[in-house]
Amino acid sequence: MLNLRGISGQRLNGTVKISPEDRYPFNVIGVEATHGKVNLAMQEVVDGSKKAYVLSVENLITEAGSYNDTVVIKTDSPIRAELQVRVYVYLRPPQPPEGAKR
């Protein structure tokens, strides 16, 4: 799960590190957002002597409100062909300047 919080108009970014277990190795073969509300990038990295993946997520909707999407990570594992990461975005309206009329 990834929570992104900010002010409307902002592009928020977050990352999730995915590390395969030694007993259950896998390779990522694809990644997609089910609702298209986030932009995705997947990078393979080396963590010590092990392979890992870093999923980078950026919100595409910048209006105030709450949004969610699900990232589906497709793997070559016969045990678990798909992994899911839920993404929650909350953008609050900007605060009026101090002393401004409401």
26 belongs to a structural domain: yes
Domain that holds residue 39: 2-92
Number of structural domains the chain divides into: 1
Would you state the structure tokens that stand for residue 41, as one six-digit string? 């990038």
Provide the strand spans (E) within the chain: 2-7, 13-18, 28-33, 38-47, 50-59, 65-75, 82-92
Any domain includes 29: yes
Encode pLDDT of 14-66 as tens digits: 999 999 999 999 999 999 999 999 999 999 999 788 999 999 999 999 999 99
Q: Is residue 39 part of a domain?
A: yes
SS3 track for 26-53: CCEEEEEECCCCEEEEEEEEEECCEEEE
Q: What is the pTM of this model?
A: 0.88
Residue 101 has pLDDT above 70, yes or no: no
In a domain, 74, yes or no: yes
Query: What's the CATH number where 46 sits?
Result: 2.60.40.10
